[in-house]
Amino acid sequence: MDQLIPSKFSPYRFFSAAEWGEFRAGQPLTLTGDEVRRLRSIGDPVDLEEVGRIYLAVSRLLSAHVESSQLLFGQRQRFLGAPDAVKTPFIIGIAGSVAVGKSTTARILKELLGRWPSSPRVALVTTDGFLFPNAVLKAEGRMQRKGFPESYDVAAILRFLSDIKAGLPRVEAPVYSHIVYDVIPGERIAIDRPDILIFEGLNVLQVQEMPRDGNAIPFVSDFFDFSIFIDADETDIRRWYLERFMKLRETAFRDTASFFHRYATVGDAEAIEVAEILWRDINARNLHENILPTRPRADLILRKGSDHLIEQVALRKL
């Protein structure tokens, strides 16, 4: 049985975009049209209307979860007799395919959450920086698997999230450059005890095979307080990927430092052929083998239509 089809057996409640928009409950927009255009990724048409229709209600829901988590934290500390313990950040995981709009969603939610009356400090980290360097992937014959679970330093991700949850100050994360398509050696960003951390990446809801001896194996998602999956039909995601690739040929790929600079000078037909191969051999395989199977683990699923805008919202029942 497909639990993502509305039925009495599904663990989700389903809402149309119009129904979901009602849950903003009069909350005023705190972003401007110019800010939304700055926050969205190339090829993503999200605008101020979409923010008010979908993302404002999402931020209201998340804010309620954050407040409830903080209340529960205080109650637990009093129960344990440790009222002065450091408050742990609320971590939100955002997953989904390449080109589906994860980055736009993460950036918009970061801005909206940070502008709630309580003025929480919100940080955003992507898993790109935790990829193994290209030199390592090439040496191990895994460049064609870049973006697959085995291409990430999962141990480093777990250490990072564990330190964040422990409330440690200035937890560092590596930095990735989409221009050179690699981790930048020696460059780090410091995350200093935010109220909320948004952790975005392809495979953040990935699990491993459970050990038969019952020993604990931590998953990245074990550190999440709430998780979101950005969903769409594969045919649409493929089209968005190809369109983005062609737009990047006119922008980022023209930088001579770009890893993909060679594709800025070839003809359109050859560029489309390259993009099709990259989609078929890497991104579609990763979607089917690793990303899509994690969708039912999300607390909230934002389903996009062919126009790249949210058409359905699925919220896990409590």
| Contact criterion met (CB below 8 Å) for 147 and 204 | no
- Counting DSSP H helices and E strands in the chain, the numbers are 10, 9
**116 C-beta neighbours (distance < 10 Å), count:** 18
pLDDT given for residue 187 in this prediction: 96
pLDDT in tens, 162-196: 999 999 999 999 999 999 999 999 999 999 999 99
- Which residues have CB under 8 Å from 191's CB, separation 6+? 123, 125, 164, 170, 171, 172, 173, 197
CA distance 224 to 227: 7
Residue 9 pLDDT greater than 90, yes or no: no
Mean pLDDT of the chain: 93
Specify the amino acid at residue 302. Answer: L
pLDDT in tens, 236-266: 999 999 999 999 999 999 999 999 999 999 9
Residue of 252, 246, 201, 205 lying closest to 224 (CA atoms): 205
CA distance 151 to 134: 10
DSSP per residue, 81-96:
T-TTPPPPPEEEEEEE
| Contact criterion met (CB below 8 Å) for 43 and 241 | no
Residue 143 pLDDT greater than 60, yes or no: yes
Q: What angle do CA 125, 291, 230 make, to 5 degrees?
A: 65
Tell me which of 6-20, 229-243, 299-313 is least confident: 6-20
Superfamily of domain 12-316: P-loop containing nucleotide triphosphate hydrolases (3.40.50.300)
Checking DSSP bridges between strand 12-16 and strand 122-126, what pairing results, if any?
Answer: unpaired
Residue 117 pLDDT greater than 80, yes or no: yes
For 204, the token pair is 């953040």
For 201, the token pair is 């990446």
Mean per-residue pLDDT, 49-56: 96
Report the side by side order of strands in the sheet with 12-16. 12-16, 310-316, 300-304, 226-231, 90-96, 196-200, 122-126
CA distance 76 to 227: 23
Residue of 228, 208, 181 lying closest to 58 (CA atoms): 228
Mean per-residue pLDDT, 282-300: 96
CA distance 142 to 125: 24
pLDDT given for residue 1 in this prediction: 46
